[in-house]
Amino acid sequence: MQVIEEGLLSLCMIVKNEEKWLPRCLESVKGVVDEIIIVDTGSTDRTKEIAQEYGAAVHDFEWNDSFADARNYGLEQARGEWILWLDADEEVDAEGREHLRDVLSQQECFFGRIKVVNYYGTFPVSYDRSHIMNQYRLFRNDPQLRFAGAIHEQLDVEALDLPRNSVFVLPVTLHHYGYLEETVAEKGKKERNLRLLEKALEAENHDPWLDYHYASELYRSEKLAEAFERVNVSIASFLKSRRKPPSLFYKLKYSILMALGSYEGGWPGIELAIKLYPDYVDLHFYKGVILMSMQKFTEAIEAFEYCLTLDEDHPSYLTMVGTGSFLTWYYIGSCYELMENLPKAEQAYRKSLELSDTMEQAREALQKLGVSESAPEN
């Protein structure tokens, strides 16, 4: 029988062949968590030895194609009153990491939410090349609360009747490196995930979230036409059951359209998505790109300027860093350049670079205009 001890914080992880990433992850929570539960699903490298060096309790689990089963096995071993769950390719930011323990003093809350920064592209990482989202990464150790889903597993919160104020927001940032190109290639994530999702989709009346996740994997595998078809299936499934499709579905749909170059295919549908999520900066950004591609430059600038009034670090959405700042200023500059208003184009490009010195497109645009990157003298 599982014994839960008050005042303890347990870290629960599932791993396989993570010797490259695991030390960084465990070092980031050293001295913050009270126990480390590692579920190993078949490592052949030094993963288990590294975990033990950090004082972890390592439990072997025979892989059965279910991430939820592996995570739940780890939960059964945890003694902590609260549980933090991480993946090996994640790292808790040093600034504020001690606030993870703040959940231990919460009497009414059931979940702890932290900011997750998902990097894309290649090393070295940059915050300007990331998507950010607040996620529930801490929760009370309750035998009724378990993960569900063979892949892209999620906590089955419907199993508990929780009050609306059951979430505690912590000033903690988590860095996730799992979507970097070399990480995805090293782990063969695309092939594995597609295989597991295809298996799960064979079930009748499957959760439309599976269609969304399958579309996401197809998108990352650059199978864009298939991805677009599948994400529309996921949206239609929600609408058919008279449920509001999650904002993530629309973000993916218009990301795919942008990648396909099918800008006019997003009009006027993007307006309907915005009606559902009027404060989602990414959707307004896509609207601006669509209008720009249709040569409606004045309307596009209006859409982009509205982006600048919205929060790109919104607690409810997955947002691309820059859609409410440097990326938007670059596109405003592009619109003005296409309108042959070069002074305003230059001003916007400079604003983009001022907000992000990694914005190479803005730097190249200034060079194309034949002006110096440095700010002009008054």
> How far is Cα 223 from Cα 212, in angstroms, rounded to an integer?
14
> Residue 242's pLDDT is what?
96
Residue 356, token pair as written in the block: 């992000």
Confidence of residue 218 (pLDDT cuts 50, 70, 90): very high
**Tens of pLDDT along 191-203?**
999 999 999 999 9
Phi, psi of 171 (to 5 degrees): -80, 60
Least confident of 40-49, 143-152, 355-364: 143-152
- Report pLDDT for 23: 98
Question: If pLDDT is split at 50, 70 and 90, which confidence band does 183 have?
Answer: confident
Q: Where do we find the tokens 């670059």?
A: 330
Q: What is the tally of helices (H) and strands (E) in the chain?
A: 14, 11
pLDDT at 378 over 50: no
C-alpha angle 353-247-358 in degrees, rounded to nearest 5: 15
For the segment 292-303, the average pLDDT, to the nearest whole number, is: 97
Looking at the chain, the whole-number percentage of residues with pLDDT higher than 70 is: 97
Q: What is the pLDDT of residues 17-72, one digit of tens each?
A: 999 999 999 999 999 999 999 999 999 999 999 999 999 999 999 999 999 999 99
Question: What CATH architecture is 5-182?
Answer: Alpha-Beta Complex (3.90)
**Mean per-residue pLDDT for 78-97?**
98
Higher pLDDT, 70 or 189: 70
Average pLDDT over residues 128-153: 94
Mean pLDDT of 10-23: 98
The pLDDT of residue 376? 58
What percent of the chain stands above pLDDT 90?
89
Supply 75's token pair: 């939960």
Mean pLDDT across 243-262 = 96
Q: How confident is the model at residue 244 (pLDDT cuts 50, 70, 90)?
A: very high
pLDDT band at 164; cut points 50, 70, 90: low
- Domain residues of the chain, as ranges? 5-182, 188-239
User: CA–CA separation, 116 vs 21, rounded Å?
Assistant: 17
Helices 281-293 + 269-276 axis angle, to 10: 170
- pLDDT at 377 exceeding the cut of 80: no
